[in-house]
Amino acid sequence: MKSLVRLIAMVLFFSTTASVGQCINNSQYPWSPVILQNSGAQEYISNCTWTMEFAYLMNVAPNIGYIFTCNQNGSAKYITVTSVANEVIAHGISPLTVQNIPYSEIRVHYSEDETCGVETNCADTFVQAVLSCMPPTNLNATVLSSSSAELTWTAPQDTNNFEVYVVNMDNQNPQPDSILPIPVTGTSYTATNLTAGTLYQFAVRSVCEDETGPINISPYFYTPCNSFTSLNETFEQSYYTLPNCWQAIRRGDGLTGHASITANYAYPTTSGTTAVQFYADGSNLSNADLILVTPPLSNINENYRLRFAARGSQSLQVGTLDSNTLDAVFTPLQTITPTDVMAYYTVDFSNYVGSDTYIGIRLTGNGSYDPVFVDDVVWEQNPACPDIAAAEVTATGTNSATISFQNIPAAASYDISYAVSSTNDPNQGAIVNTTANPFEINSLEPNTTYNFWIRTRCGEEEVGYWSAATTATTNC
C-alpha cells in the first residue's frame, strides 16, 4: 500500500531537469526529515529509495564534508544535492563527496543517471560525515571463553591509536564515557576478566594528533555461562524474558508466528506468581520444536534428577541437548503428561550415558492454543531416601495439630518440621522425628498460621528431600 501511494505521488509530481546532470525530484522519501548524527559513521537514509525521490536532511554541519551514497544491488546511481529551495550544490555518480555545504538543511535527489532516468526498484541510500578524526568501523567481537573476547575493528586512514571501552550491559544505563578508556595501538584488543553469562558491548574511538574522534559502538555480544552443578529456579526474578543462562529454542516449519516460551504470570502455581509458559499457538509440533533449555550442567551423567512442577493439557518431553543453539540435537528421555492441577514431576538421570551438557523440556502434543506452565525447576542429587508427598494437617485445638502422611516402606522414620508461616525454609523450623502416623504436635500458639513439612529418614545420615509446605491455622 505504501508503494502504491508513493507511485501515485510520482505520477502527479514527476521529476524535473534543471540541466543535464542536475536532477530535481518533487517526491520526498522518507516522508519525515532525516536528522544527521554527524558521528563519522555511515548513516542510513533509507533501505528503499526510488530514483525519482529526494531525501530531506537536517542538522548538516558546516566546515566538514559529506559522502552521499545510492546503490541498487551494487549499481551506483546518480545524486544531486540541493538547498531546500532546490539550488544545486553538487551532483555526480555515487559515492558523491561534497565539502563545506553552506546550509543546515538540504535535499538529496536520486536518479538512474545524469539524464535523470527513474526506476521504482529499491535502492540503499546513506550519508557519512567526513571528520578530521574519523571513527573506526567494522567493530566485531569474537567470544573466546566465558571470561574473554577478541575485539577487532577497521582503522580509518592515517590512524593507528585508539581508546577502547568495554561495557557491561547488565549495569543500568551504561555509558562509555563513564568507564576508563583502554589505550590500544593497532586494530584489536583481547578483553579479559569478563563475567560469564553477561551481555556486553565495546566502544572504540580514534586518537588523532590534536583530538579524539567520536565513539563507535559494537553490536552486542554475550559471554557463555559457566557450567552449573545444581539448579533451583523459580522464575520469579524475570517477566516475559527467561532468567540469565536459560534459553528458548523455537524452530521448525510447523511453528506459527506467536508460538513462544516466556516467563509469564501464572496462577495458581507452586511458588510465587511467575512460571514458564509454553504457548503453541496452533503450531504443528510434529514438525516444530518449542524447548526450554537449562544452563549448562557438568554432571548430567552422575546420580542426579530433574524435578519440576507443571500443569496443562499437552505433554512434555524431558531430554538432553548437545548445545543451546538453534541447531542443537534433542535426545528425549522421558515424557510427562501434566494435568490441569499444578503438580511436581521427577525425571531420574542416574542411568544416563552420554556427553550432552544441557537438559531440555520440550512441548509435544496437538499444538493447541492452551498454554502449558512449568515452574520450580530443580536439578539435584537423587535422595538417599525416597520422596514423600506433602502431609495433611488438621488443627485440633488452640495449640495442637494432627499430621497425617503416606507410609513409605523404605523409610525407617519421618522428620516433621513446623514453623510460623513467615518461615519458608524447613531447616529453620522445629524438627521432630517420629514413626507414628498420624502424629500430633501440642506446642503451637493459638490463632497462628504454621507451615508444616515432612521428609523420610532411612538412616542416621540418609534422608529424603523435604516435601512442599502444608499450611494450617490453630484455633482461637
How much is the pLDDT for 237?
Answer: 78
pLDDT band at 331 (very low <50, low <70, confident <90, very high): very high
pLDDT digits (tens, 9 = 90+) for 89-133: 999 999 999 999 999 999 999 999 999 988 878 999 999 999 999
Q: Is the pLDDT of residue 9 over 50?
A: no
Q: How confident is the model at residue 41 (pLDDT cuts 50, 70, 90)?
A: confident
Task: Please state, for a pLDDT cut of 90, what percent of the chain lies above it.
Answer: 79
CA distances 292 to 182, 297, 366, Å, are 39, 14, 18
Distance CA 80, CA 114 (A): 9
Mean pLDDT of 386-401: 93
Could you tell me what percent of the chain has a pLDDT over 70? 94
- Mean of the per-residue pLDDT values for the chain? 91
Number of C-alpha atoms within 13 angstroms, CB side, residue 151? 33
Q: 5 phi and psi, to 5 degrees?
A: -60, -45
pLDDT tens digits, 157-214: 889 999 999 998 876 555 555 678 999 999 999 999 999 999 999 999 999 998 999 8
Residue 14 has pLDDT above 70, yes or no: no
For residue range 258-270, what is the model confidence (pLDDT) as tens digits? 999 999 999 888 8
Residue with cell 520469579: 236
For residue 430, pLDDT beyond 60: yes
Report yes or no: 166 and 143 within 8 Å, Cβ to Cβ.
Answer: no
Q: What's the pLDDT score for residue 176?
A: 57
pLDDT number for residue 151: 97
Q: Specify the pLDDT at position 13.
A: 43
132-159 residue pLDDT tens: 999 999 999 999 999 999 999 999 988 9
The predicted structure's pLDDT at residue 89:
96
Judge contact between 244 and 168, C-beta under 8 A: no
Query: Each residue of 240-298: pLDDT tens digit?
Result: 889 989 999 999 999 998 999 999 999 888 888 999 999 999 999 999 999 999 999 99
- What pLDDT score was predicted for residue 20? 54
Nearest to 249 by CA among 326, 178, 158, 334: 326
Please give the pLDDT value at position 7. 46
Check residue 329 and give its pLDDT: 98
Please name the residue ranges forming H helices in 116-270: none
pLDDT in tens, 334-357: 999 999 988 889 999 999 999 999
Please report the pLDDT score of residue 8 as a whole number.
Answer: 40
